[in-house]
Structure 1
Amino acid sequence: MRKYNWGMIGTGWIAHEMADALNTVNGEIYAVADINQEKLAEFASSKHIQKQYTDATALINDPQVDIIYIATPHTYHYEYIKKALNAGKHVFCEKAITVNARQFDEVQQLAAEKGLILTEGFTLYHMPLFTKIKKLIKAGKIGETKLVQVNFGSLKDYDPSNRFFNKDLAGGALLDIGGYATAFARTFLSSQPNVSLTTVKFFETGVDEQSGIILKNSQEQLVVMALSMRAKQPKRGVISGTKGYIEIENYPRATAAKITYTADAHSQHSEVLTAGNADEALCYEVEDMQRYIESGHDDGQLSLSHDVTHILDNVRTQWGMRYPFD
């Protein structure tokens, strides 16, 4: 596989991890942009990056750049994705790829029109374990999937000024961590949910602090989801079928799953399925992104992101929670 010229926008904590993955998989990073010149210089030096830009648009328009990686706050994603696609660049964007479904539908259509790859940074889409689990389910090992249960809870410090609680920056649990839980659930459903029930507790700034969400699709498969931003929960997902259930801990970067087979109500046995390395989660993302470009096909990942974004939008509509830029 050829080396690609990646251009990174943003130098936060996830960008540091992605830079290490890019250097491991791709061998080098071509350029990085950040408005803070001191942080930019330090980042570029520590990650051995060739070019520095204080203007993200200038990086996007650099004719040598093949792929744009976006690691900014949510509110900037839509603008940078559009600019990058219009400049003929493939895009890998951290979650949430856009803050609402209207924005998503526009960039999805634009990527299709331009013949470019657009991918969202959900690690679980790329972990080898999930490929094994999907094959096991497709083979009928746990029977017909009936129910998905999934939790994600962070314990953010009480700080109303932090971006996690800032409505102007699309703060709240739903977009920060809820995308992971929703992506997990949608991965194991036969189709997009067409029914959603939800309730929410708001933080004092008006963003969602915690919520409960129930989804159902036309096959009557159910999802039960719990999200929280001021109470820690295990990152745990369970897929239940008519012949067994699968338990996955730390599902965003999972490397092991326990499968319990329940052929009847009186007997059961278990096995553990393993694959991948959690420390290489972002390496898998880079490898897949470059493979998508080589093949001209994204394995359906953007379609999953479409469904997730529309689910999140529907939930927020029920809450009556809109961002200033919606």
Structure 2
Amino acid sequence: MKEYRWATLGCGVIAKQLAENLKKQGKTLYGVGNRTYENAVKFAETYGVEKVYHNVYDMFHDDEVDIIYISTPHNTHITYLKEALKNGKHVLCEKSITLNSRELTEAVGLAENNNLVLAEAMTIYHMPLYKKLQEIVNSGQLGPLRFIQMNFGSYKDYNMENRFFSPSLAGGALLDIGVYALSFVRWFMAEAPDQILSQVKLAPSGVDEQAGILLMNNKQEMASVSLSLHAKQPKRGTVVFDKGYIEIYEYPRADKAVITYTEGNRREEIEAGNTDDALLYEIQDMEKAVAGEADDMQLEYTIDVMNIMTRLRNDWNMKYPEEL
């Protein structure tokens, strides 16, 4: 496989993990760009990055860059996605990949027209555990899917100016943590849900602080999702079938699950992958997709999840400044 040169737009926690996981493969991150140039310089010194961009837009025009990882705030993604794709760069973008379906459709069109790989950095789609569980489900040994139950809650400082609650930074539970829960649901459902009901509690800033969501598709597979930015919950997913149920804790970066079979109440522990290598699996799948060897980036799932989130926010009459 060709040696691909990666650049990161943003130098926060995810960018650090990108540099560290490339190093695990004996590679070095090629370039870094950041709104604050001084922070990009410090990042480059720490991780041995060759190129630091004074202007982040120079990254998009650098012929040496093959793949760009975007880890800036949600509401900046579409601007950077369009520039990267127009200039021939493959893109792996932090979730939520865009604010809404309209933006994502535009980005997907650019990627298709330029024969480029566009993907959301959704850990669930790349962890070996989920791939192994999907094989078990597809084998039929658990029978048909009946119900999925998802919990995801965190306790954030109740400051309406921080990014979690700020409309100007596309805050709210849905785009920050709900995208994980809905991606989990989509991974196990045979097709996208088309029946969606919800209740939402808005924060004083106007973004979604807490939500309960019910989903069902044409196969009558059902799911419930519970989200909160101000009430910690266990990161737990339960996937219920006729012949047993799967329990997964500490998703999305889970490496263990337990299957409890209906007959005899027998329990089976499934292990695959390593939590610490979560970003490494994303890197590997992305490079395979760019090389044309395999496409495990699940863009169709990303589109389905974005459609759900856009519909939910429309139901809540909740818009970000960029959407008004």
TM-score where L is the length of structure 2: 0.97
Shift of 1:63: 0.9
Q: Given residue 56 of structure 2, which amino acid in structure 1 is its aligned partner?
A: A
Local SS of the residue matching 1:258: strand
**Does 2:299 correspond to 1:271?**
no
- Counterpart-to-counterpart distance in 1, 2:93 and 2:259: 33
Instruction: Deviation per CA, 1:39-94: give whole Å up to 9, x if none.
Output: 11110100110010131110111111111110100011101111111101100100
Counterparts of 2:207 and 2:119, CA distance in 1: 26
Matched, 1:321 2:318: yes
Q: Is the 8 A contact 2:289 2:297 kept in 1?
A: no
2:7 equivalent in structure 1 = 7
Amino acid at match of 2:222: L
In 2, Cα distance between equivalents of 1:25 and 1:174: 34
Partners of 2:125 and 2:297 within 8 A in 1 = no
C-alpha distance in 2, partners of 1:83/1:152?
A: 33
CA contact (8 A) 2:253 2:278 kept: yes
Equivalent positions of 1:1-326 (< 5 A) are 1-25=1-25, 27-263=27-263, 267-295=264-292, 297-299=294-296, 301-326=298-323
Cα contact 2:119–2:297 (8 A) shared by 1: no
* Superposed CA offset, 1:175-198 (max 9, x none): 000000000000000111111000
Tell me how far 1:22 sits from its aligned partner: 2.0
**In percent, how many aligned pairs have the same letter?**
45
Query: Equivalent residue of 1:176, what SS?
Result: helix
State how far apart, in whole Å, the 2-side matches of 1:148 and 1:225 are.
8
CA–CA separation in structure 1 for the residues paired with 2:72 and 2:23: 20
Residue 298 of structure 1 deviates from its aligned partner by 2.4
In the alignment, the residues of structure 1 paired with residue 319 and residue 162 of structure 2 have an alpha-carbon distance, to the nearest angstrom, of: 19
- Distance between the aligned counterparts of 2:291 and 2:173, measured in 1? 35
Q: If the length of structure 1 is used for normalisation, what is the TM-score?
A: 0.97
**How many aligned positions are there?**
323
Q: CA RMSD in A?
A: 1.1
Structure 2 contact 126–296 (Cα < 8 Å) conserved: no
CA distance in 2, matches of 1:247, 1:297: 29
Preserved CA contact (<8 Å) 1:100 1:309: yes
Q: What is the distance in 2 between the residues matched to 1:313 and 1:291?
A: 30
Gaps of 5+ in 1: none
Q: Deviations over 1:110-133 (max 9, x none)?
A: 111111101111111100001110
Deviations 1:121-169 (A, max 9, x none): 1111100001110010011121100101111111111211101111111
Contact 2:127 2:278 in 1 (8 A): yes
Q: Offset of 1:17 from its aligned partner?
A: 1.3
SS at match of 1:252: coil
Note the C-alpha offset of 1:316: 0.7
